[in-house]
Structure 1
Amino acid sequence: MPPLALYIHWPFCVSKCPYCDFNSHVREAVDQARWCDALLADMAHEAALTAGRQVGSIFFGGGTPSLMPPATVAALIAAADRHWGLAPDCEITLEANPSSVEAARFADIAAAGVNRVSLGLQALDDAALAFLGRAHSVAEGLAALDTAQAAFARVSFDLIYALPGQPIAAWEAELARALAFGTEHLSLYQLTIEPGTRFATLAAKGDLVIPDADAAADLFETTRSMTRAAGLPAYEVSNHARPGAESRHNLTYWRYADYAGIGPGAHGRRGGLATQRRRKPENWLAAVDRNGHGIEAEDALDPGTRATEALLMGLRLAEGVELTAIAGAVDERAVALLAKQGLLVRDGTHLRATDAGMPVLEAILREIALT
């Protein structure tokens, strides 16, 4: 049986970024001991339902998991090993903000067992960082990157592009600088306006305008060309890595394999069931105290729904999605038409988007998905 991926959600942040729609919350105080115990209990419940599976990857996401005490990180990794057993090459990733306070914890977090860090730099320009609501400066972010590269075997960092008024030349210069740092993996996201965020409010008033589709497509193609030339080709819409350095945890999602999700708002896929934990931290905590777990819903997924989910996730990958996984989920006539237009290709056992298709992937999925 393939290894299981384990996702652990830490919901707290120092502040809420205006573009962020993740399950993140600002609290004046956090009872660290209580939260550690609750996460351990939620994990134990999930482990009892997935006995016999080895864990191949762990991902601490958020929120800002670099705010977790390293002792809590160590306790959760040790518990996962007790419950499931960790694969010898288990990838253990933690998302981190590049503040000096959090960077000071990197050595202890590495000692706790984390072997890969994903650093939220987001921009290499102080004005852009201020626009994005980030608390760190470029200098602080680069110092944190140096610390991360010294502490962890594997390092990735995020950048956001397609900002209002951002010319291609400015993004080319920023990306060239990013590629020169020598990390094995980059996550490069176009700014999108997500419902319920402060940016969505500004956009509705006309006070925030992001690049139009044509400009965004030019930026996307520039990004893929530069990363490919640097030896970090895109293996997913927004993720770029040296061959062999792809995020194994995220590949579990995109290849639609099973994963366990614990902590507030965490989702999971377990043997044809979709699991979801309670989203609000206080509600999740109360549910764990009451029930021994934070599960809000467990829904059985019929074969058609699973095939559609496999399509939506798998077509994001450069390798595409296995045809056997999406049987009955696609409109074959639409696939044939888009293939003639050079946007899709059947490549052996997979259906994949071409380089021309990737910038319009969302439109392709709307055309070919039957449900």
Structure 2
Amino acid sequence: MTDPLALYVHWPFCVSKCPYCDFNSHVRERVDQEMWRNALLADLAHEASILPGRRLGSIFFGGGTPSLMPPATVAALLDAAERAWGFEPGIEITLEANPSSVEAARFADLAAAGVNRVSLGLQALDNETLAFLGRAHDVTEGLAALDTAQRVFERVSFDLIYARPDQGLADWHAELARALSFGTEHLSLYQLTIEPGTRFQTEALAGRLVLPDDDRAADLFELTRALTASAGMPAYEISNHARPGAESRHNLTYWRYQDYAGIGPGAHGRRAGVATQRRRKPENWIEAVARNSHGIELEDALAPRERAIEAMLMGLRLAEGIDLDRIATLGEQPIDKLADGPAIERLAAQGLLERDGAHLRATDAGMPVLNAILGDIVRVPETT
């Protein structure tokens, strides 16, 4: 049986600048909504023509500020997607939202349009940190938006950022315990990272922004997993925690290396062994859709080895781990040509990996150093 397809819809526009992303060129005060709706529908129709006979298990509206998409646009896209593919029973339809009062006022209309899950970017539960992160909302406004979301949507998740400068274990313990008390079914808890080309990178290079060292970051990571597990929301992925059955179905599609179509500026996709990327700049994407009926900039057939390595890199982020037989099938070669067996044995002896036949997973001790583990076990192809 074919796995359900996932659809990612990228809405690029932001309403305010953000200090830790590089989408600031996409800030817009006005958008021609009819033109954008028609372009997104055309992009969707192109993907549907390539992927006939599939059914959608999840749809995710992400990007800049998708909660400011007109509900009519959301409804039109959902209607077109259902007509093109059909929906699996209980389809998950998620929308990312900033926790502002302006956006919260639209939640009921978005739910009426068909959205049944929201992911809120709370990011912190104290005003000083929110100001540091460059967020426009304060704690009171954010929690009011969370309350509205919990009343309107069937499923609610929110994110927090930790491992911040000068953040102590007691501080994070108190903040995370408060977050867990709100009763949502899902939390995304990310360690603060510095992305190239952002204000944070400038501050870090100047010595004005210092993140916790590796030992403190590891302590914070361990505390995070212990608290969420004791609250009945264990980590099912490095940074994501959920009550059993409340995992993000859409993100599981990525991590389990299943097919997903991406539409809208900058959207990526993986479908039937082909990697797609839409044109990133909104104006260029619009022009491409008008010219070609789609916004694709790159469409690359992935070699079997590439697919296998991608599946390994993504799958080991999950607590459930990976099936090495499936990796070998994707790579069209024996697993020992793709993964370094002796390295796996060594890391298992160190308590960082756990292998049971064809099943391989990172342990709790291995998750904080997963990048290093992946660097060790992915076998470099032999050269002649």
**TM-score range, shorter-chain basis?**
over 0.9
Give 1:106-125 correspondences, 5 Å limit.
106-125=107-126
Q: C-alpha displacement at 1:64, in angstroms?
A: 1.3
**Which residue is 2:344 aligned to?**
335
Within-5 A mapping of 1:135-174 = 135-174=136-175
CA shift at 1:370, angstroms?
2.2
Q: Which residue of 2 aligns with 1:352?
A: 361
Matching residue's letter, 1:90: I
Shift of 1:63: 1.0
> C-alpha separation between the residues in 1 aligned to 2:89 and 2:44?
20
Is contact 1:310-1:325 (8 Å) kept?
A: no
Cα deviation code 1:214-239 (max 9, x no counterpart) = 10000000000000000000000000
1:198 corresponds to: 199
| Matched ranges for 1:23-62 at <5 A | 25-62=26-63
Give the C-alpha shift of residue 24 in structure 1.
7.3
Structure 1 spans left out of the alignment, 5+ residues? none
Gaps of 5+ in 2: 329-336
- Kindly indicate whether the alpha-carbon contact (under 8 Å) linking 1:9 and 1:264 is maintained by their aligned counterparts in 2: yes
Give me the TM-score of the superposition, normalised by structure 2: 0.95
Tell me the equivalent position of 2:334: none
Q: In structure 1, what is the equivalent of residue 240 of structure 2?
A: 239
Local SS of the residue matching 1:119: strand
**Alpha-carbon distance, 1:23 to partner:** 8.7
AA at the equivalent of 2:31: V
Deviations 1:237-274 (A, max 9, x none): 00000000000000000000000000011111111111
**1:365 aligned partner:** 374
8 Å CA contact retained: 2:18, 2:24: no
**Number of residue equivalences:** 371
Q: Is the 8 A contact 1:23 1:62 kept in 2?
A: no
Query: RMSD over aligned Cα, in angstroms?
Result: 1.1
Whole-Å Cα distance in 1 between the matches of residues 25 and 241 of structure 2?
25
1:325 aligns to what? 326
What do the CA deviations read for 1:169-202 (whole angstroms, capped 9, x no partner)? 0000000000000000000000001111111111
Cα displacement (A) at 1:135: 0.1
Identity %: 76
Deviation at 1:366, TM superposition (A): 1.1
Equivalent residue letter for 1:181: F
Note if contact 1:23-1:265 (Cα within 8 Å) is conserved in structure 2: no
Give the aligned partner of residue 67 of structure 1.
Answer: 68
Range with bigger deviation, 284-293 or 15-24: 15-24
Matches within 5 A, 1:80-119: 80-119=81-120
CA distance in 2, matches of 1:193, 1:340: 33
Q: TM-score scaled to structure 1, two decimals?
A: 0.98
Q: Please state whether the residue corresponding to 1:356 is helix, strand or coil.
A: coil
CA deviations on 1:285-334 (whole Å, 9 max, x unpaired) are 11001110000011011111001000110000000011123333211121
CA distance in 2, matches of 1:158, 1:348: 35
Contact 1:275 1:297 in 2 (8 A): yes
State the 1:349 CA deviation. Answer: 3.6
Amino acid across the alignment from 1:290: R
The match for 2:218 is 217
Alpha-carbon spacing, 1:173–1:240, altered in 2? closer, same or farther (3 Å): same
Give the secondary-structure state (helix, strand or coil) at the position aligned to 1:279. coil
Indicate conservation of the 8 Å contact 1:10/1:64, yes or no.
yes
SS in 1 for 2:26: coil
Matched-pair contact (CA < 8 Å) for 1:9–1:61: yes
Equivalent-residue separation in structure 1 for 2:363 and 2:22 (angstroms): 29
CA distance in 2, matches of 1:22, 1:347: 43
Q: Distance between the aligned counterparts of 1:221 and 1:184, measured in 2?
A: 20
